Amino acid sequence: MTSSIPTIEPELVLAHKFPESFFDYTERDVALYALGVGACGANAVDEEELKYVYHQYGQSYIQIQNRAHIAGLHDKGKATILEIESTSINKETGEVLCRNRNTVYLRGTGGFSKTSDLYSYSSPSLMPKVTPVVIPKGTPFAVYEDKTQQSQALLYRLSGDYNPLHSDPMVANIAGFSRPILHGLCTLGYAVRAIIKCCCNGKPALVKSVLGRFILHVYPGETLITEMWKTDSRIIYQTRVKERQKVVLSGAVVVNHLSSSL
């Protein structure tokens, strides 16, 4: 029996050119994303978070240009790891707003190496080298608990991720889940909100970079507990589901001007 999965051809993958994309980012997009990751979910008049969903002093608008390229391709035998790096730019000023690097694990697509050594490619990157995250064994510096809503995935998807895995019960069942699951980036948003609250005095501008490793799924309606440990240069965190006592996410956040007083 032959596999229906096409063989990966590294040269074709690395030669792929993503088209530049443009999109407008407005006050509405900011508010919708903030609501999607739980802002004001427990308290509609939370003084620290109301600013994310209600802009009293007028509208804001920015046009963003995205440029992406293949940053890595690695044959792991039974799977392939594909890395995509993107840069978001203020189209009017040319200012680099942020850089993202996503790692995609493609099951059942490995074994395409033509030599005994497994194929591996990484492009030069403008992003800083990432230090591996090791969860400390000591008591967390801070712990924050937040409950997601049953409709959380339906709200978060309105920010642009319409994968039916997060909304269609039939698709979720086929994928092996009892019901639609929460977007991983939504869970990450909850964790970063917790860090901003507990380690940044409610100031999101202090966050310099975010690293997240997705470990397990979350069902909408479950309670997320984020534990934080402070180091000299960053906040190590892990998020677990209270109801199942399972760790679902871990990573690190680099904070500008991190001090012992935080």
pLDDT digits (tens, 9 = 90+) for 223-238: 999 999 998 889 999 9
- In a domain? residue 93: yes
The domain in which residue 231 lies consists of: 142-255
**DSSP character at residue 157:** G
- The predicted model scores a pTM of 0.89
In degrees rounded to 5, what are phi and psi of residue 256? -65, 135
Q: How far apart are CA 125 and CA 88, in angstroms?
A: 15
Closest among 113, 91, 220, 203 to 167, alpha carbons compared: 220
Choosing from 92, 122, 152, the residue where a domain stops is 122
What mean pLDDT, rounded, does the chain reach? 92
Number of domains in the chain: 2
The answer to whether 73 and 15 have CB atoms below 8 angstroms apart is: no
3-class DSSP state for residue 106? strand
Residues 179, 108 within the same domain: no
Residues 250, 186 within the same domain: yes
CATH number of the domain enclosing 59: 3.10.129.10
Helices and strands in the chain, H and E counts: 6, 10
Closest among 75, 76, 67, 71 to 19, alpha carbons compared: 67
* Residue 138: count of CB within 10 angstroms of its CB: 7
In degrees rounded to 5, what are phi and psi of residue 155? -80, -45
Q: Quick one: pLDDT at residue 220? A: 98
Instruction: Identify the helix (H) or strand (E) that includes residue 105.
Output: strand 96-107
Helices (H), 79-219: 152-156, 169-174, 184-199
- In a domain? residue 89: yes
Confidence of residue 156 (pLDDT cuts 50, 70, 90): very high
Q: Quick one: pLDDT at residue 59? A: 76
pLDDT digits (tens, 9 = 90+) for 52-85: 999 877 877 899 999 999 999 999 999 999 999 9
- In a domain? residue 129: no
